[in-house]
Chain A
Amino acid sequence: MNRSEASARSILTGVLERQQTAIAERWVQVQMERGEVGGGLAEDELREEADALVAALSSGLAGDLPVERVVAQHRQLHDAVTDLSMRRARAGTSPTATSLAVLSLKEALLACVAEESLDTRGSLAVARVVNRLVDAAGALSFETYVEGREEIIRRQNRQLMELSTPVVQLWREILAVPLIGNLDTARSQVVMENLLEAIQEHEAAVAIIDITGVPTVDTSVAQHLMQTVKAVRLMGADCVISGIRPGIAQTIVQLGIDLSGIQTRATLADALETAMGLTGQRAPYAPEHP
């Protein structure tokens, strides 16, 4: 670190210490004017955010981490930046608006520095330090924002998967999972977990997996089904697969997949009848047969 940078840093540290409140206030003002907020963040929330970040910046700069590493390595500052970005990602603020909001801290800082009477050389050196700091904060913010969005997408995906794989109790001791759509590895994992939990919870003896709504049964889907059946059996329950349409039956045969160890039925009604038999229960009415 050269001398002009060292003195610029100490000037900036001084400004931050003396004008913390003013800087935070100004930063909020700039953000409000630019309309960069969006996503339902109120002024007092912005203010809280700004106070925390400016305080962290002040303490980070007062410490002895080099300028280029302060944002990444000063715990409090790092967290203030990631909190701000995560909050905006969750609030649905756009990535541009989030970056601009962080970058507008430059403006607030420089405006307050301008009130110190510095010579051109001095202000230039301070501006350089401000730039490096805020650019690093901008980069960290963007990275966090993207991670935040991805986390949201993952969570929503999982919620969607769980919604689309309901386990329903059809009868005493009999559960069914009507599968609809594509049964990939992730989804079959969710199905398996939900089913096993439900078996335990309902003390079920038979689980029916209905694949009427699964458009393609290839070797990978078949393998997922077989693994699910195996897991159900390990829990001491029986498993019946229903909803095997003629086209699917023929393709399964042509794929050379042996489902002979698994009970399969054409319709859910047939499967229920089988399940009643397996649990020694009798339907209150005779199931209709065409």
Chain B
Amino acid sequence: MTHPGEEAHHGGESADAGWALETSEAARSYPVRTEADLLTVRHAVRDATEELGFSLVDQTRVVTAASELVRNAYVHGGGGTLFIDPLRQARGVGIRLVVTDEGPGIEDARQAIVDGFTTGSGLGHGLGGARRLMHTFEVHSVPGKGTMVTAVRWTDR
């Protein structure tokens, strides 16, 4: 049922939002409450990818994916939080983006990822595009509770 690099989870697995935040101690969080925050977080992601040694094109990919996810949290989720998690592991160097919000959630995550699907006035390419720009991509959403999107990109692949 799951696409490569994507899993859609439904239903409340635990008491509150239904998932656990998995970020390392190096992760930093950024609020996404205003349009100006979108700009701030793009800069933060740009700086983080540059420091981790991503190529210019890959920096652009990660920043663009982050931009899509935080805009979704802002527009559809009523605001949320971005966690930037630098990964320095035996398998390589990468970056994990985690975007959470406590908005209305996504009814059907698999449908939402399909290009052209939108409940707003956008192009409906944000989620699908972000997924293609990153190496792994997971959407956890509980209708009525909120949404968490986790995406990773490595430097050397």
Contacts and interface: CB of A to CB of B under 8 A. Distances in A.
Interface residues of A, number: 20
Nearest to A246: B57
Contacts, number: 65
Given A223-B122, A246-B57, A255-B125, A182 B132 contact: no
Interface residues of B, number: 24
B129 A254 contact: yes
A246 B35 CA distance: 27
A217 B57 CA distance: 13
B59 to A, nearest CB: 8
A257 interface: yes
A219 B68 contact: yes
Interface in A227-258: 246-248, 250-251, 254-257
Given A182-B39, A255-B132, A219 B126 contact: yes
Interface string B111-131: 000010000001101101100
Contacts of B60: 216, 247-248, 250-251
A262 B42 CA distance: 27
Contacts of B46: 215
A184 B35 contact: yes
B39 A223 contact: no
B39 A254 contact: no
A276 interface: no
Interface of B: 35, 38-39, 42, 46, 56-57, 59-61, 63-64, 67-68, 71, 115, 122-123, 125-126, 128-129, 132-133
9 contacts: A215-B63, A216-B64, A218-B71, A247-B59, A247-B60, A255-B125, A255-B129, A256-B129, A256-B132
Interface of A: 182, 184-185, 215-220, 222-223, 246-248, 250-251, 254-257
Interchain residue pairs A-B with the least CB separation, the first 8? A255-B129, A247-B60, A247-B57, A218-B67, A254-B132, A219-B125, A251-B64, A256-B115
